[in-house]
Amino acid sequence: MGLRFILGLLCCLAGAAIAAPDTPVASPHKAYLSLIIDDLGQNLPRDRRVLALPGPVATAIMPDTPHAAEFAREAHRAGKIVMLHMPMDPATGPFAWHPELSIEELGKRLDAAFAAVPYTSGINNHMGSRMTAQPQAMAWLMADLQQRHKFFVDSRTSAQTVAAAEAQKIGLASVSRDVFLDDERTEAAIAHQLQTAIDLARRQGSAVMIGHPYPQTLAVLERELPRLKAKGVEWIDIKSMISLRSNRAMVGHGRDGVYR
């Protein structure tokens, strides 16, 4: 009886070994973050703190600022992605786009803005809650950017934006903002928004953040960005984020990958 028991046990163990082959341990869910800092070109000492941030922060430079060209050159030398932060209604100024302007005038203003900010790889909208809701103008913009080989980031300053949807229609390299870091300019609120972005990236795989060169924002980023890796978050540049998302809308931007 004892021999039969031992033989039976050995058979069971052999069967279990066959039924349960070695399986690789599932890797943890990847979480990717990208960051754009807007409104640059106004104050060189302040803006240079952005260049000193660890990781591939993108620099969005306003064309109507006193140091736009100089800072764009510095950002390019520092290896940062340079973006044109294009003023759009309700923004004002000589470069700003407004719905009542002709396509010809919009084109002239865009040309002038690109001339003011060298080394640009793409653009995002500064303000623009009225302008980004204009399908004809946004369709023209995306076609123009495609010819220039530039990408587009929809800052999503309005739920009525059609900008990313128009970019998606023609396959223009683009992505949309998920989290604004500093609508409330306190370190506690900004740290909370950063954590919101991290949590979102863990849920959906990635998150795009936009912030501004406020002292409180920079203080939080200088403190927290070096800790991202230890939290299992991968810091990637905005071009890599566009490639990662493959022009698909996130849940907060649309449905089934299509912008609404």
Per-residue pLDDT of the chain (260 residues; tens, 9 = 90+): 444 443 444 444 344 333 333 332 323 479 999 999 999 999 999 999 999 998 899 999 999 999 999 999 999 999 999 999 999 999 999 999 999 999 999 999 999 999 999 999 999 999 999 999 999 999 999 999 999 999 999 999 999 999 999 999 999 999 999 999 999 999 999 999 999 999 999 999 999 999 999 999 999 999 999 999 999 999 999 999 999 999 999 999 999 999 98
CB 63 within 8 Å of CB 84: yes
User: Residue 15 falls within a domain, yes or no?
Assistant: no
Q: Output the domain CATH number for residue 233.
A: 3.20.20.370
Q: Which of 61, 95, 64, 66 is nearest to 78 (CA)?
A: 61
Q: Which residue has the tokens 């039969």?
A: 4
User: Residue 233 falls within a domain, yes or no?
Assistant: yes
Integer Cα distance of 157 and 177 in angstroms: 9
Q: Please tell me the total count of domains within the chain.
A: 1
User: Residue 32 falls within a domain, yes or no?
Assistant: no
User: Residue 80 falls within a domain, yes or no?
Assistant: yes
User: Residue 20 falls within a domain, yes or no?
Assistant: no
User: Residue 182 falls within a domain, yes or no?
Assistant: yes
Residue 244, class by beta-carbon neighbours within 10 Å (0-12 exposed, 13-18 middle, 19+ buried)? Answer: middle
pTM of the model as a whole: 0.88
Integer Cα distance of 105 and 120 in angstroms: 21
What pLDDT was estimated at residue 7?
Answer: 40
Integer Cα distance of 70 and 72 in angstroms: 5
What pLDDT was estimated at residue 21?
Answer: 35
The residue segments making up the domain with residue 94 are 39-246
User: Residue 230 falls within a domain, yes or no?
Assistant: yes
User: Residue 257 falls within a domain, yes or no?
Assistant: no
Q: Which of 61, 35, 32, 30 is nearest to 48 (CA)?
A: 61
